[in-house]
Homo-oligomer: A and B are copies of this chain.
Amino acid sequence: MIETKSTRLKTSKMKKGGDLTEQQLADLVETFKVLSDPTRIKIALTLTNNEMCVHDIAGATGISESAASHQLRILRSLRLVKHRRQGKQIFYSLDDHHIEKLIQVATEHIAER
Contacts and interface: CB of A to CB of B under 8 A. Distances in A.
A110 B29 CA distance: 10
A96 to B, nearest CB: 6
Determine how many copies of this chain the complex contains.
2
Nearest to A110: B27
Interface residues of A, number: 60
A60 B14 contact: yes
B107 A15 contact: no
Interface of A: 1, 3, 5-6, 8-9, 13-18, 20, 24-29, 31-33, 35-38, 41-43, 45-46, 48-50, 52-53, 55-56, 58-62, 64, 79, 89, 96, 98-99, 101-103, 105-110, 112-113
